[in-house]
Structure 1
Amino acid sequence: MRILLLRHGETAGNLEKRYVGRTDEGLTEAAIQALRQTSEKRKQLLYGLLGPVAAVYASPMRRCLETAALVFPEKDFSGVHVRLVPGLSECDFGRFEYKNYRELSGDADYQRFIDSGGTDGFPGGEAVAQFKRRCADAFRQEVRTLTEKTDGTAVFVIHGGSIMAVLEAFGRPEREYYSWQTGCLSGYLCRTGEENGHFCLTDVAEISII
C-alpha cells in the first residue's frame, strides 16, 4: 500500500528557525488562510496523487492536528477519522526548546551538539537515538494494522524530525537522517515493501501540497 508522510504547516517558531519540539503552538494565521483559500485545488491534487485515503494518522501536537483538519476535512474524506499517534511527536529538545541558533550561539552544549553533527542529544531532553527509535517503533506499529490489500493511501501528518526518523529506519535506498529533511506541507509518498525479510518503504518520492 501507499504511505504519505506529510510535515505540518508553518508555525511562528518555524518562521524564526526555532527548535519547536514540545512547544504546542498552532499554525500561523497566514498558513491557515492559505490552506483555506486553496482547498478545492488541493483536494483535486490530493485525489490525483493519493487516490482514496484509507486512514489519517497524526501527532497529537496542535500544528499537526490543525494541518490534518484543514488538508483532510471529514466533509471531503468521509469515513476517515484522524488517529492520534503520540509516539510520532517531535523530539524533546530539552534546554534548546524554542530557541534558535542566534540565542544558542556561545552555548557550550549547543556547540558540542553542532560539532557532533547533530547526534549528541539535547541537554535535559531526549537522546537522538532514543527519539529515532521511538518514531520508528510507533510508525511500524501503526502500519501493522494495515495490509497490502488496504485500498488507498495511509497518511501520516507529523513533524520534520519524525519523518526523517521513519525514513532513516525504513526508506530504501538507505540514506542518512538529515538527508530526509523536508519543508512545511511537504513530505514523501512511498510504498510499503520488504527487503531481505524486513519491512521497508520503497519508491520514495518527495512531494509538496502547496
Structure 2
Amino acid sequence: MATVVLVRHARSTANASGLLTGRLKGVHLDDTGRGQAERAARRLSSVPLAAIVSSPLERCRETAKALVGEQAAPPKVVSERGLVECDYGAWQGRALKDLAKEKLWKVVQQHPASVTFPDGESMAAMSSRAVAAIRRHDAEVEAAHGPNAVWAAVTHGDLVKAILADALGLHLDQFQRLHVDPASMSVVRYAAGASYVLTSNSHEGDLGWLAPKGGKKAPATGVVGGGAGPAGKGH
C-alpha cells in the first residue's frame, strides 16, 4: 500500500481577505502563505516523494513548487484536474461574510451532500472526482514504485476534507466535522478493501517517520491494541 500526504495549499491572498475565489485565476500565496509552504516542505524533506500531484490553480502549484525545492531527487509536478477547486458557480468571488447570510449556507454546513452551487458544481460531484483522482494516482504510484512509496497531493480545503471523509467511511454530510488549515498535512494509506488515516490537519513536526525503511514493509495498520507505531517516533 502506498501512502499519500494530502497537502492543502498554503494561505493565499484570497484566504487573507475572506473571499471565496473558487477557480478564479491569479490567486497566489501571500507572504504568510509562502512561509507556510516552505515550512511544510521542510517537514517532508527527509521523505523521498515518489510523485507530487497538484491542482492546476496557482496557489496549489506554488505550494507544490516549495515541496519540490526541499526534495533531494524531486519528481516532476503532475497537474491533475480532478483535484481542482470546487466550482462554486455564482458564489465564486464573493465575500464569505456575505455568503453566510444566504439560505444555502446553512445547508452547506449541515447537509453538503445535497448541495449544488448556483450555476456550479454539486459537492457530491466534487467529492467523487477528488476521491477517484487520489485513488487512481495512488494505484499508479504503488505500481511504479512499490507498496512503501510515499507521494504528495496538493489541493484545496474542501477536497482534502472530502478525501478524508471517504477514507474514514463517513457520509459526505459529515465532512464539515473535519478541519483542514492552509499548509496542513493529512496522511492516508489505502489497502485492499480498507483505508487508514494516519494523521490529519498536521501543522508541526518532522514527517520523516513516513520515509520507506529499505526493504521493510510499511507499518501495519488496523492492529488490535494499536501497535507499536513507526519505530517509536512520535507524530
Q: If the TM-score is normalised by the length of the shorter chain, which range does it land in?
A: 0.7 to 0.9
Which residue of the partner structure matches residue 28 of structure 2? 26
Which residue of the partner structure matches residue 61 of structure 1? 57
Q: Is 1:188–1:205's contact at 8 Å kept on the other side of the alignment?
A: yes
Tell me, yes or no, if structure 1 residue 84 matches structure 2 residue 73: no
Tell me, yes or no, if structure 1 residue 131 matches structure 2 residue 129: no
Q: After alignment, is 149-158 or 81-90 more displaced?
A: 149-158
* SS of corresponding position for 1:57: strand
Tell me, yes or no, if structure 1 residue 208 matches structure 2 residue 203: yes
In 1, the alpha carbon distance for the partners of 2:183 and 2:51 equals 18
Which residue of the partner structure matches residue 221 of structure 2? none
Identity, % of aligned positions: 21
Q: Unpaired segments of 5 or more residues in structure 1?
A: none
Q: Is 1:113–1:122's contact at 8 Å kept on the other side of the alignment?
A: no
Tell me, yes or no, if structure 1 residue 166 matches structure 2 residue 163: yes
Q: Is 1:4–1:156's contact at 8 Å kept on the other side of the alignment?
A: yes
Q: Is 2:36–2:183's contact at 8 Å kept on the other side of the alignment?
A: no
Matching residue's letter, 1:82: V
Q: Is 1:8–1:157's contact at 8 Å kept on the other side of the alignment?
A: yes
Q: Is 1:121–1:128's contact at 8 Å kept on the other side of the alignment?
A: yes
Report 1:1-210 matches (<5 A): 1-24=2-25, 25-32=27-34, 34=35, 43=42, 45-48=43-46, 51-73=47-69, 76-104=71-99, 106=101, 110-115=102-107, 117=110, 119=112, 120-147=115-142, 149-171=146-168, 174=170, 176-194=174-192, 198-208=193-203
Root-mean-square deviation (Å): 2.6
Matching residue's letter, 2:140: T
TM-score normalised to structure 2 length: 0.73
In 1, the alpha carbon distance for the partners of 2:44 and 2:58 equals 22
Shift of 1:100: 2.1
Shift of 1:181: 2.3
Q: Is 1:42–1:209's contact at 8 Å kept on the other side of the alignment?
A: no
Aligned length: 196
Q: Is 2:3–2:187's contact at 8 Å kept on the other side of the alignment?
A: yes
